[in-house]
Amino acid sequence: MNSIGWLRRLLHPPRTLRWRLFLILFAGLAAAHALSFGVLFLERYMTAKTMMLGNLEKDVGTSIALLDRLPADERQQWITMLERGNYRYELGPGLPGLPELSALGTEIAETINEAAGKRFPVTVETIPGSPQRLQAHVTLSDQTQVTIDLRPRVMPLAAWLPYVLIAQLLLLILCTGLAVRLAISPLLRLANAAEALDPGKTADRLEETGPKEVAYAATAFNTMRDRIAHYLEERVQILAAISHDLQTPITRMKLRAEMAEDGPEKDKLISDLSEIERLVREGVTYARTAHGTVEKPARIDIGSFVESIVFDYQDTGKAVTALKTIDAVVVTRPHALRRIVTNLIDNALKFAGEAEVIVRRTPEGRTCITVSDHGPGIPEDQLEFVLQPFYRLEQSRNRNTGGTGLGLAIAHQLTLAIGGSLHLRNRSEGGLAAEIVLG
């Protein structure tokens, strides 16, 4: 079963486009290279065989005619002089062989018959063994037998040729890898830019250079990002304008309500107008923080900064404590960070009645501010949704229990604006922990 699974994984195509393109290009080029080498080798083999058969025909014809004219007692001394690299002559019947011939043996037999001019009987046999060996038995005019002992061989390959082939294969791999990298790198840059797309942050535009298709894709992506940023900015501006314009009529309505006669209806009306006013203020605040802030960064002692916020709450009688702080200097936007921490503390006080603040260093050396409580916490499947604007866990229309749904959204937007991150998690001992990681 393991071998079957291993074979399936081996035969399964790679999942990355880089490796698929590499295998396709390399397989095609390697096949073309192998085919070219095969054609060249075949052409070399055919040429060498033709030359061997041509030389054999001329040399055998001349040698047999010479031996036939020589006196019998002088033939032996000429035998050694007629010897060649792949065949030699012997006086006598030679070795017993088999009549079966290979394709090359058949061509050699026909060549010897042509060389002998069909004046001398010729019999060609295969001598068993390796390498291939043939013997041609020729009967001269005086009935003397002459044996031609042949060891057919084509011109061997050069010893350096395998090294050249290996070098060509390595060069083929290198060029294929380079071509795939040049083809894939623009796609990877586009994918990374799409993954990092955040209209609320300033990011470098994709370079609109390279091949025509790549430059066109980069231009289209930059245009799409600009459109998304414009639509989001327009949406936030509309929210800010509506929230801002509502403040004046709400103020007039509150003044008129206060001038009315005292009674339960007056108190309810003023309370509703106050809730509307608070919602409008938070809408304006969210609109201002959605695309960052113009506040300039400053160096602050993060431990003293957080303690000052905690002391402000303690002075008003709120159950807020700083369990742990560190002495560290960070560069951030103080007013934005104060708004983030106060929003989280207010959220903890609202749902748990108390808040605990811890400042520590993460293993990566970054500064982390944790605001925790012992309240009911948040369901795991809603931890990400509560960071969205106007999302409330408590779905009633009562602002005292459900809130406006903008507190955590404003804290999240401000955290992103100052270059940090906000994460929510439920504590094992109960309650919620909100972690602000700076840097």
pLDDT at site 394: 58
Beta-carbon contacts of residue 242 (< 8 Å; ≥ 6 apart): 283
DSSP per-residue string spanning 69-125: HS-TTTHHHHHGGG--SSEEEEES-----BS---HHHHHHHHHHHHHTTTSS-EEEE
Mean per-residue pLDDT, 213-226: 85
C-alpha distances (whole Å) from 158 to each of 43, 81, 162 are: 16, 29, 8
- pLDDT band, very low/low/confident/very high, at 327 (cuts 50, 70, 90): confident
Average pLDDT, the chain: 79
Q: Convert the pLDDT of each residue in 330-344 to its tens digit.
A: 998 888 899 899 989
pLDDT: which is higher, 11 or 92: 92
First-last CA distance in the chain:
51
SS (H, E, C) 307-321: HHHHHHHHHCCCCEE
Mean per-residue pLDDT, 98-121: 73
DSSP per-residue string spanning 245-311: HHHHHHHHHHHHHHTSPPSHHHHHHHHHHHHHHHHHHHHHHHHHHTT---PPPEEEEHHHHHHHHHH
- pLDDT band, very low/low/confident/very high, at 9 (cuts 50, 70, 90): low
pLDDT at site 135: 80
pLDDT at site 8: 60
CB contact burial 388-427 (16+ within 10 A = b; e otherwise): ebeebeeeeeebeeebbbbbbbbbbbbbbbbebebbbeee
Rg (CA), the chain: 47
Structure tokens at 11: 């035969």
CB atoms closer than 10 angstroms to residue 438: 20
Contact 435, 362 (CB under 8 A): no
pLDDT at 14 over 50: yes
pLDDT: which is higher, 363 or 232: 363
Determine the Cα–Cα distance for residues 173 and 187; give it in Å rounded to an integer.
Answer: 21
pLDDT at site 360: 92
Mean per-residue pLDDT, 58-81: 81
pLDDT at site 349: 92
Amino acid identity, position 22: F
Residue where the block lists tokens 């779905």: 395
Structure tokens at 91: 């006086």
Rounded to two decimals, the pTM is 0.48
pLDDT at 356 over 90: yes
- pLDDT band, very low/low/confident/very high, at 368 (cuts 50, 70, 90): very high
pLDDT at site 238: 76
Q: Convert the pLDDT of each residue in 380-435 to its tens digit.
A: 888 888 887 767 665 433 444 445 567 788 888 888 888 888 999 998 888 899 99
Supply φ then ψ for residue 152, to 5 degrees: -65, 135
Determine the Cα–Cα distance for residues 387 and 425; give it in Å rounded to an integer.
Answer: 12
320-324/355-361 β-pairing: parallel
Mean per-residue pLDDT, 1-14: 59
Residue where the block lists tokens 């792949």: 86
User: Which has the minimum average pLDDT: 40-54, 91-105, 287-301, 306-320?
Assistant: 287-301
